[in-house]
Amino acid sequence: MGRSKKERAEPVDSAAAADGVKSGGSSTQDKAGLSFPVRRTETRLRFKTRSTITRVSGLTSVYVTGLAQHVAAHVLMLAGEEAARVSQKRISPAHVQQAVRSCPDLARTFAGFSFATTLDVPKASKMILTKTKIKEQAAKVEEKKAMIAQAKAAA
């Protein structure tokens, strides 16, 4: 008796009714199983870009949103592992930066990105540097050590 005429006309989804969730239309985001907003991505792809793209497929926004969500989840997972490694419970911007620098794929993806943090973060791991860069860095370190040794000897 407590249901209105409109509610009685709609079929009741037993699983949704058990959870107390109203059944109704589902968005593209829900259908794709994503947490990031598909509609907002679609709007930005269609109208906010200054490119020559005039036509965008309906599934493009779902794909781009899923890709962004996957990259964000991967970065946060690595940052969480980095925070746990140094016995901290919270992820800081330094942990995110270190996670991006330590993963070769993410390091290439975020190569031109500038992280806004004042904290000191260790250098990128050697696995993402080329052999020539590693040799150049080693030569610079040796030069600095030689200069320090000369300064100590002169003093």
The residue-averaged pLDDT of 25-37 equals 85
Question: Exposure of 121 by Cβ count < 10 A (0-12 exposed, 13-18 middle, 19+ buried)?
Answer: middle
The answer to whether the CB of 28 falls within 8 A of the CB of 62 is yes
Report if residue 26 sits inside a domain.
no
Between 96 and 24, name the one with better pLDDT. Answer: 96
pLDDT at 127: 60
What's the domain range around 116?
Answer: 35-124
* Tens digit of each residue's pLDDT (9 = 90 or more) over 60-97: 889 999 999 999 999 999 999 999 998 999 998 888 98
Is the pLDDT at 22 greater than 80? The verdict is no
**Band of pLDDT at residue 5, cut at 50, 70 and 90:** low
Tell whether 43 and 94 lie within a shared domain: yes
Amino acid letter, residue 129? L
Report if residue 100 sits inside a domain.
yes
Tell whether 77 and 137 lie within a shared domain: no
Tell whether 46 and 116 lie within a shared domain: yes
Whether pTM exceeds 0.85: no
Please give the tally of structural domains in the chain: 2
CATH number of residue 114's parent domain: 1.10.20.10
Tell whether 53 and 110 lie within a shared domain: yes
The helix/strand/coil state of 117 is coil
Tell whether 99 and 134 lie within a shared domain: no
* Tens digit of each residue's pLDDT (9 = 90 or more) over 44-58: 888 776 667 777 788
112's enclosing H/E stretch is none
Tell whether 119 and 142 lie within a shared domain: no
* Tens digit of each residue's pLDDT (9 = 90 or more) over 100-154: 988 889 988 888 887 776 566 556 555 667 778 888 888 888 888 888 888 888 8
Report if residue 1 sits inside a domain.
no
Tell whether 45 and 117 lie within a shared domain: yes
